[in-house]
Amino acid sequence: MRKAEINRCTAETQISLALELDGQGEAKINTGCGFLDHMLTLLAGHGKLNLSVECKGDTHVDDHHTVEDVGIALGQALAKALGDKKGIVRYGTITLPMDEALITCALDISGRCGLYGTLNIPSHKVGGFDTELVEEFFLGLTRNAQITLHFVQLAGSNSHHIIEGAFKAFGRALRTAVRIDPELADRVPSTKGVL
């Protein structure tokens, strides 16, 4: 089974995270940040990942460290669960509607990190959640998973819908990219022979 467990402890957060790539979309999330819990549950469900996250963070300061560090831990878990990446599809792309929002997500499990594109989120907060933390989450994830990730926002005026569309789209694109391609068998999907 392609799975990983990450325990990340700093002066700001204590995180225990378990990930199973070939799951059923089961999520058990408790980060202390309700909006992040909601987004991770959506990511797991649409990605068909089994994901468990327990985080105790300095949310009395704000949610920044919690959101960023959960992204880091999830990126580390993805890298560990993928191992040598033999047999994976590697690429995933989807354009996903979320009511008036329309988000394209494209990713490459490339061994090179990069977060590109811009989500034009109109409000600074959704409830108590700082919307600028969406970028921090995905930066932490891409740097540690060593994936290239692009978002293109084609439409959207509701901040919640835009963010939700991005997380759902990422889950769906990731689901495609980590799938085992029977035609690749035990080969790494790169002409270089390594990712």
Distances (CA, A) of 39 to 29, 84, 112, 161, 185: 10, 28, 25, 11, 33
Low-confidence ranges of the chain (pLDDT < 50): none
What pLDDT, on a 0 to 100 scale, did the predictor assign at position 187? 82
Per-residue confidence (pLDDT) for residue 19, from 0 to 100: 98
**CA-closest candidate to residue 18, choices 76, 68, 58:** 76
Q: What was the pLDDT predicted at 191?
A: 66
- pLDDT value, residue 112: 93
Residue 27: strand pairing partners: 51
Domain locations in the chain as residue ranges: 3-178
pLDDT at res. 175: 98
**Residue 10 in contact with residue 72, Cβ under 8 Å?**
no
Please give the model's pTM, rounded to 2 decimal places: 0.96
CATH number of 3-178: 3.30.230.40
- For residue 151, the cross-strand partners are 105
* Beta strand pairing call for 125-126 and 50-57: unpaired
Q: What is the pLDDT of residue 183?
A: 86
